[in-house]
Amino acid sequence: MTHVLEISGLVKTFGGLTATDHVSLTVNSGEIHALIGPNGAGKSTLINQICGELIPNAGQIHLAGRDITRLAPAERVALGLGRTFQITSLLDDMTVRENLGLVIQAREGGNFRIFDRAVRRAEIWDEVEQSLQTSALAVRAGVRVADLAHGEKKQLELLMALAQRPRLLLLDEPMAGLGHLESQQMIAALHAARAECAMLLVEHDMEAVFALADRISVLVYGRIIAAGTADDIRANPAVREAYLGEEDA
């Protein structure tokens, strides 16, 4: 079986510190795999190696069977690696609809002939409407990004990342800074998105992790100390001790 993502024996050191200590994990197609762990466990370091912002000292990363360990970030994106857009990359003076249209247009590149352009433009707007259809943003399509609430901007980031049609989407704390209702909307949006791509979800909000994850890997001091379903992880004594702490014990 080809996994969407396969990480094997990954090691990353910073001087004397081993931030990624022989990490192996897989993400299957259609799966949401959550990566949890306390502050400083090495989650960002691992994500940055998957994106190509950091190159590991040892080990391999395969995306859909292709060795991407040493590829540049843009080459990984071209092979189907997606990451949520940061709010700072949204265009404030343009509407939700226009921001989405731009991403779809960029995905297609200049890849159509002049006499196809009008047809293509109509197809792009159709795709924009489709992607908005089931989103909490549907009623805000004509609103400028500058006038959106924080949670709405996070929803737009997700739609823009999905519009790139990634095989694997890396989600770095999508619940951060969201209120209760906004978190519920984000959980619903991620749940709906699982039909479109596999996801590796780094998240501190355990309610969201337990609601969404098919499998969970627990990282502590750079090592995966446990991996399994939400029930496995909840019941694992080492995890309760190292991570969930008194809150769940």
Ligand X SMILES: Nc1ncnc2c1ncn2[C@@H]1O[C@H](COP(=O)(O)OP(=O)(O)OP(=O)(O)O)[C@@H](O)[C@H]1O
Please report, as ranges, the residues that interact with ligand X according to CB under 6 A.
Answer: 14, 17, 19, 37, 39-45
Query: What is the closest distance, in whole angstroms, from the C-beta atom of residue 203 to ligand X in the complex?
Result: 10
Taking the C-alpha atoms of residue 122 and residue 189, their distance in angstroms, rounded to an integer, is 25
Task: Closer to ligand X by CB, 45 or 135: give it.
Answer: 45
> Are 158 and 174 contacting, i.e. CB atoms less than 8 angstroms apart?
yes
Residue 170 CB contacts under 8 Å (≥ 6 apart), including other chains: 47, 50, 51, 81, 82, 83, 84, 199, 200, 202
- The distance in angstroms from the start CA to the end CA of the chain is 37
Nearer to ligand X, 17 or 192 (CB): 17
Residue 209 CB, shortest distance to ligand X, in Å, is 13
Q: How far apart are CA 222 and CA 24, in angstroms?
A: 11
Q: Closest separation between CB of residue 60 and ligand X, Å?
A: 19
Least Å distance between CB 53 and ligand X? 10
E strand or H helix at 198: strand 198-202
Q: Which helix (H) or strand (E) holds 237?
A: helix 237-239
Within 13 Å and on the Cβ side, how many CA atoms surround 53?
A: 8
Widest CA span in the chain: 65
Q: Which is nearer to ligand X, 17 or 58 (CB)?
A: 17
At its nearest, how many Å lie between ligand X and the CB of residue 225? 13
Task: State the DSSP code for 243.
Answer: I
Please answer whether residues 185 and 155 qualify as being in contact, where contact means their C-beta atoms are separated by less than 8 angstroms: yes
Q: How far is the CB of 162 from ligand X (least distance, A)?
A: 24
Nearer to ligand X, 14 or 112 (CB): 14
CB of 54 to ligand X, least distance (A): 8
- Comparison of 231 and 241: residue with beta carbon closer to ligand X: 241
Phi and psi angles of residue 215, each rounded to the nearest 5 degrees, phi first? -135, 155
Residue 128 or 218: the one with the smaller Cβ distance to ligand X is 218
Please say which residue, 83 or 140, places its beta carbon nearer to ligand X: 83
